[in-house]
Amino acid sequence: QVEAAEVLGIDQPKVSALIHGKLGGFSTARLFRFLNALGRDVEIVVKPNKSCSKAQTRVAAL
């Protein structure tokens, strides 16, 4: 967690909060920057819903 804190530019307690799913204090833009700092690309795709079902939001890690 200490190494991750250095890479992300935040303190260790904030890394711990992230690991435990406590995202309330972080904007989506900041979370995306964290992912980029960890070598991950972030891609958001918005597309029309072609089925009769209710529109969905999905997150996938590849």
CATH code given to domain 1-62: 1.10.260
Q: Is 32 exposed, middle or buried (0-12, 13-18, 19+ CB in 10 A)?
A: middle
Task: Provide the pLDDT for residue 41.
Answer: 96
38 contacts: CB under 8 Å, gap ≥ 6: 4, 7, 8
* N- to C-terminal Cα separation, the chain: 23
Kindly state the helix (H) or strand (E) to which residue 12 belongs, with its residue range: helix 12-19
pTM (predicted TM-score): 0.77
Task: Provide the pLDDT for residue 39.
Answer: 96
pLDDT in tens, the chain (62 residues): 899 999 999 999 999 999 999 999 999 999 999 999 999 999 999 999 888 889 989 888 88
Give me 54's structure tokens: 């209710």
